[in-house]
């Protein structure tokens, strides 16, 4: 990243712990608020990720930063089994667990509280690994990506969905206004954690998106790296393999 951004600027905790605490704080209202903030567009982006993973026909899948489990649940509903949803936040996993049980998907999805930079799995373990809106929260981006490469099988699919900053007028200017003023304002109204949505917009603005992130993936050792901007460049889907 261009600079280190943390949720709570006056905290002495490291970024990893701050991110965990932040998501614990906002877990209860995260799904609804996320729909509002993304104007519902995140659903269509996730559908593209799901199609790519299902098309790969994986025998097992790791969903890192699973949050409230939306992506893992959608994959299970498409018939995939042996899905692991991993997240740092106990609060988010509790919400995910409730949703999974409501849909009777416990046999297909296992939830694990864990760290993307120290994955509790052997080398060459997963056929597919996905991260939706989570890589910008890594404490050490390259270390987290190296761990993902380690546990991904040769020929396996790694796919990332992440917010991005539009580069063309007038979307670039509109995006800056939205993320700097409107998004934090919405977060303050609907969330008890007033810092959270300011952090989420700021962390997105400094994340190395597009070709810059592609080059980081290549540096780590991923192959066949490609990226596709979504909705005028406000998000991006990255695909790569091992």
Per-residue pLDDT of 185-232, as tens digits, reads 776 676 677 777 778 778 877 889 899 999 999 999 999 999 999 988
Question: Which one, of 183, 228, 217, lies nearest residue 201 by Cα?
Answer: 183
Residue 32 lies inside a defined structural domain of this protein: yes
Domain that holds residue 58: 15-165+208-241
Per-residue pLDDT of 83-98, as tens digits, reads 999 999 999 999 999 9
> Per-residue confidence at 29, pLDDT binned at 50, 70, 90?
confident
pLDDT at 23 over 70: yes
How many angstroms separate the CA atoms of 171 and 231, rounded? 10
List the helix and strand counts (H, then E) for the chain.
10, 7
The mean-pLDDT minimum among 47-51, 92-96, 105-109, 163-167 falls in 163-167
Question: Which one, of 145, 154, 90, 83, lies nearest residue 119 by Cα?
Answer: 145
Give me the pLDDT at residue 54, please: 98
Residue 176 lies inside a defined structural domain of this protein: no
Residue 108 lies inside a defined structural domain of this protein: yes
Dihedral pair phi/psi, residue 237, rounded to 5°: -110, 125
Per-residue pLDDT of 41-60, as tens digits, reads 888 999 999 999 999 999 99
Residue 196 lies inside a defined structural domain of this protein: no
Beta-carbon contacts of 71 under 8 Å, excluding residues fewer than 6 positions away, are 46, 49, 50, 63, 130, 132
Residue pair 172/144 in contact by the 8 Å Cβ criterion: no
Beta bridge mates, 197:
none
**Peptide bond just before 170 cis, omega within 30 deg:** yes
User: Into how many domains does the chain fold?
Assistant: 1
Residue 214 lies inside a defined structural domain of this protein: yes
> Per-residue confidence at 172, pLDDT binned at 50, 70, 90?
low
Indicate the average pLDDT of the chain: 89
CATH number, position 110: 3.40.50.150
Q: Count of residues for the chain?
A: 242
pLDDT at 132 over 60: yes
> Per-residue confidence at 151, pLDDT binned at 50, 70, 90?
very high
How many angstroms separate the CA atoms of 35 and 42, rounded? 7
Give me the pLDDT at residue 206, please: 86
């Amino acid at each position: 990243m261009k600079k280190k951004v943390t949720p709570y600027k006056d905290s002495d905790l490291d970024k990893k712990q701050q991110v965990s605490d932040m998501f614990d704080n906002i877990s209860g209202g995260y799904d609804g608020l996320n729909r509002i903030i993304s104007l519902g567009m995140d659903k269509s982006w996730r559908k593209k990720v799901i199609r790519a993973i299902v098309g790969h026909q994986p025998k097992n899948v790791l969903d890192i930063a699973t949050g409230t489990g939306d992506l893992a649940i959608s994959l299970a509903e498409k018939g995939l089994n042996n899905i692991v949803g991993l997240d740092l936040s106990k609060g988010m996993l509790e919400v995910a667990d409730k949703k999974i049980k409501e849909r009777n998907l416990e046999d297909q999805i296992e939830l694990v509280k864990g760290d993307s930079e120290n994955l509790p799995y052997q080398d060459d373990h997963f056929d597919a690994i996905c991260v939706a809106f989570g890589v910008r929260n890594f404490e050490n981006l390259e270390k987290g990506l190296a761990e993902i490469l380690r546990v991904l099988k040769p020929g396996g699919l790694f796919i990332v969905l992440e917010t991005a900053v539009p580069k063309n007028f007038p979307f670039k200017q509109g995006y800056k206004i939205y993320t700097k003023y409107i998004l934090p304002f919405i977060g303050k109204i609907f969330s008890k954690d007033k810092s959270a949505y300011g952090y989420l917009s700021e962390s997105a603005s400094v994340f190395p998106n597009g070709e810059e992130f592609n080059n980081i993936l290549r540096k780590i050792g991923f192959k066949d790296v490609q990226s596709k901007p979504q909705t005028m460049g406000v998000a991006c889907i990255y695909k790569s393999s091992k």
